[in-house]
A and B are shown apart, each in its own frame.
Chain A
């Protein structure tokens, strides 16, 4: 017998979808199974090896979920957007440039992590402990040693060198408005040349043919001649102190020495911190995660997974990082409060001098 006039009611479909959602299934937020998971809110560059993640989950009994998107600034903005009812329990990736916006804003719950005693004092940027330092990776100029060798020119060693005619049209930098290393480099020049001199410096850079691009990906992988597989033509780029070891590790054929090097005198301090979000559903889990991040396993995995250096003392480094990553004792720095106050103004002034 044929079926009577039966039609899959669209309303029924909608109800089914809704029911599935509220039923929680695999990872609905809210009411279901909150005690057993920790949610980490972070930026796109965060990475954690599977075994390290499994180790955390085994040790603490919490499942680790990760929400990533955008860069550090965007992750912080998302957290600010949801202040009080955050998407996750821990936020990772706030750096010293963003510190002033995050601390004292009612966004974080202070926590003194276990293992802080093993962290060098210079990374302790937040005495209130709303944020805990996890890694550092200074932003430095990287130079393509092979290029300079083959062209018979000495690679630059200071910021002042960059305005010399010998380095005409050799530098590529990122827009501080859109890029974290770009911002750090701009801050480095302000730290070096002061309020009165930094704009003049940039004018000279502009006259010397500096190329400005929007993001690190384009600057490094497409413009920088020293990046593996790049067709770039510029041998000086703003990148990280950990980029040279990456070039060694990820080259198609392992080279004998690093093809690139950092310019130590140009490095600007860059520390990444993590904090417990106020209103987190699993505050215990959040604290356990931060403790774990300061622990030996996680810190040792940092270089190869995220291209950053550990803050925990005496953490063993992989060979390439030991040899080719610089960690200057006194990198260029600016007080976090000053950065917070003047950042937007500085970026506008920079754009006026360099772009328009």
Chain B
């Protein structure tokens, strides 16, 4: 049911450039790792290589300590949930979900029972006979998930599965997925470009850039100590100041603006994102600093403030390769 994934030195060249430039990654049995990175960083290529849909130019992929080299995609026992679902349009829900079981030559009665079980798991009881074309976006995702899970893959790969969904549905599904994986002990590798999603889903987050993994850490560690300035900016730490070979990163929640008519900065417009309010202040010398806090009070734009920074929240990181 669960398997441990090990990727070492994966290299793939596509169309003249290196899509994967030596990737090392570990996913422990039963855990979920999120791969986070901008478009073009190689996330999808990494997934496809693990699934066997893309040949590696160098490096190895092992599942449960056994190398998958030379094993064709249909024998890897690796499930894949696609970005655009890729449901079989000519079959109904039950046939889609049961497809993998059919490939394993599971007897019909057992197959039907498992399909029922999975549909219940994803909250689609009773929808066996529905035509795929009549499903809503959320329902399609659930069917795609059920289908990928049905053959009990040792490893489940998810390729930006929740893109293009409306916000409440998106958020709800993220929580559901996380719970589901924990409940069934599924090993999963979850690829996304959305930082919040990665943080919500993954026990560990691997940040990818230009075909390489630049940091693997828990969301908390990532937030507290990003590997370099680029990672800091990418995950949303906006207070990054380069000084030569290093940069100073200040967590916004550790910055407080105290209204003070003699302060050295002026506040700009604020922005609310759920429970958090983000405020930007400009120093007299032009530098900017961002503060984030909960609460309901927003000083009007232009208010002069003193900037208070918790020194424990200041981290020095390498400037890293130019972004």
Contact = CB atoms under 8 A, between A and B. Distances in A.
Interface of A: 1-2
B42 to A, nearest CB: 34
Question: What are the 3 closest A-B residue pairs judged by CB atoms, nearest first?
Answer: A2-B105, A1-B105, A2-B102
Nearest to B107: A1
Nearest to B105: A2
A307 to B, nearest CB: 60
A1 B105 CA distance: 7
B45 to A, nearest CB: 29
B306 to A, nearest CB: 74
Contacts of A2: 102, 105
Nearest to B102: A2
Nearest to A1: B105
Interface in B86-109: 102, 105
Interface residues of B, number: 2
Contacts of B102: 2
A2 B102 CA distance: 9
Interface in B57-106: 102, 105
Contacts of B105: 1-2
3 contacts: A1-B105, A2-B102, A2-B105
A247 B105 CA distance: 75
A1 B108 CA distance: 10
Contacts, number: 3
Interface string B287-312: 00000000000000000000000000
A1 B102 CA distance: 10
A1 B106 CA distance: 9
A5 to B, nearest CB: 11
A48 to B, nearest CB: 56
A348 to B, nearest CB: 65
Nearest to A2: B105
Interface string B93-136: 00000000010010000000000000000000000000000000
A2 B98 CA distance: 15
B104 to A, nearest CB: 10
A92 to B, nearest CB: 59
A2 B105 CA distance: 7
A2 B111 CA distance: 14
A3 to B, nearest CB: 10
A140 to B, nearest CB: 69
A215 B105 CA distance: 68
Contacts of A1: 105
A7 to B, nearest CB: 16
Nearest to A4: B105
A144 B192 CA distance: 92
A82 to B, nearest CB: 53
B16 to A, nearest CB: 36
B78 to A, nearest CB: 20
A2 B107 CA distance: 10
A131 to B, nearest CB: 67
A112 to B, nearest CB: 74
A71 B102 CA distance: 63
A195 to B, nearest CB: 78
A234 B191 CA distance: 86
A2 B101 CA distance: 12
A112 B102 CA distance: 77
B103 to A, nearest CB: 9
A2 B103 CA distance: 9
A188 to B, nearest CB: 71
B75 to A, nearest CB: 13
A302 to B, nearest CB: 64
A213 B102 CA distance: 69
A6 to B, nearest CB: 14
A56 to B, nearest CB: 59
A131 B105 CA distance: 74
A1 B107 CA distance: 8
A353 B311 CA distance: 114
A52 to B, nearest CB: 59
Nearest to B103: A2
A253 B118 CA distance: 81
A164 B60 CA distance: 101
B29 to A, nearest CB: 31
A52 B105 CA distance: 65
B137 to A, nearest CB: 33
A301 B102 CA distance: 70
A213 to B, nearest CB: 57
A120 B102 CA distance: 84
Interface string B137-155: 0000000000000000000
A36 B37 CA distance: 83
A50 B102 CA distance: 60
